[in-house]
Structure 1
C-alpha cells in the first residue's frame, strides 16, 4: 500500500510540474518549455482559440507581446484524479497582465485538463479554459523601481535572460538593511 501511495504522489507531482511548465513557459516566452507541457497532438480550447500547442503558443505569445509588458499565470487550487496513464485535473488560475498602456488586467478561472502518460512523462492531451471573471486593476507604481542597483541581480524579462534562469543563483547586491 505504501508503494502505491508513493507512486501516486510522484505522479501527482509530475502532473503539477507539467502544468507549471505551461505557465512559466508562457510568462518567460520560453517556447520549448511551454511545448514540453503538451503532447504534440493535444487540443486546447482557450477563449476564441481551439487548436494545437504550437499554434496556441504562437497566438498567445503574439497577444501577450503586443498587449502586455509582463504576465503572470498563477496556479492555485489543484485537484487531480489519476486512473492508470490518464489523469483529469482542475486547476484554478489567476492571470495578471501589465499592459503596455500601464493598465493592469486580471482574470480568473480554471484549467480543466486531461493528461496522459505516453512513453514516460505526463503531458496535457486536452485542455479547456473556463474563464470565470476578469477586470481592470488601478495602476500604481511598481514598488522599489527607483532603488539604486535594484536590478544588479538581473532584470525581470520575458526570455531566458530572466534571473530565474541564472545558475547558480548568486546575489551581487551589497548588504543593506533600511532603517539601520
Structure 2
C-alpha cells in the first residue's frame, strides 16, 4: 500500500524536494559531459547560466567561449572523447548548490594513442527561474597518462554500424528516437 503524497510529513516533503533538486543538479552536470562528447552546442550551453565563469586548464571565461575553445581543442587532438562522471557530493542551500564531482576523461587521439586523465569538477550551481545551472566551475586536474593502443573491438564486423555509427555530433545513435534495431539476428558461436 502506498502512502498518498498529501499525508507525507513536512520533513519527508523537504527530503523529497532535496532529492529532486540533487537529481536536477546531477542531470545538469551530465548534460555538460554528454554535450562535450557529442559536440552538441545547445545542450552544452543549457548546463550553464549565460554569465557563468569557468576555469578549466588554461581557459578562464564564459560558456560560449569555453564551448568554442574546447571543441576546437578536441577536434584537433582526438577522434573520440568520454567525459565520465563518478563520485558526486552536493550541498544545497536554498537556490545555491556546491558540488564536487570526480571525473575520468578518456580520449582516442588522432594518432590512435589513448589518453586518460582524472580530476574533479568543483561547481557552484544556482537555481534561477526554476532552473539549476552552473554559475562557476573550476577543474581540478589531478593525474593524466597514456594507455597502450589496440584495435577497436568488432570494427570489422559487417553491419556493425547499421543502427548508427558513433559520432561527435547529434547524428550519434544516442539521439535516435525511437531507437530501433535494423541488424539481423546473429549469435556468434
Report the TM-score, using the length of structure 1 for normalisation: 0.99
**Counterpart for residue 140 of structure 1:** 150
Q: Secondary structure at the match of 2:185?
A: coil
Matched, 1:43 2:53: yes
Give runs of aligned pairs for residues 2-41 of structure 1, distance below 5 A. 2-41=12-51
**Counterpart for residue 106 of structure 2:** 96
Q: Distance in 2 between matches of 1:2 and 1:143?
A: 48
Q: Distance in 2 between matches of 1:78 and 1:84?
A: 19
Q: Distance in 2 between matches of 1:82 and 1:121?
A: 14
**Counterpart for residue 115 of structure 1:** 125
Q: Distance in 2 between matches of 1:78 and 1:172?
A: 37
Matched, 1:63 2:73: yes
Task: Tell me which of 71, 88, 91 is aligned to 1:81.
Answer: 91
- Runs of 4 or more off by more than 3 Å in structure 1? none
Structure 1: gaps spanning 5 or more residues = none
How much has 1:69 moved relative to structure 2?
Answer: 0.5
Residue-pair matches, total: 179
How much has 1:177 moved relative to structure 2?
Answer: 1.0
Q: Distance in 2 between matches of 1:161 and 1:111?
A: 28
How much has 1:109 moved relative to structure 2?
Answer: 0.1
Structure 1 stretch 168-177 or stretch 107-116: which is displaced more? 168-177
Structure 2: gaps spanning 5 or more residues = 1-10
Q: Distance in 2 between matches of 1:141 and 1:81?
A: 43
Residue deviations 1:95-115, cap 9 Å, x none? 011100111110000000000
Q: Distance in 2 between matches of 1:153 and 1:6?
A: 39
**Counterpart for residue 62 of structure 2:** 52
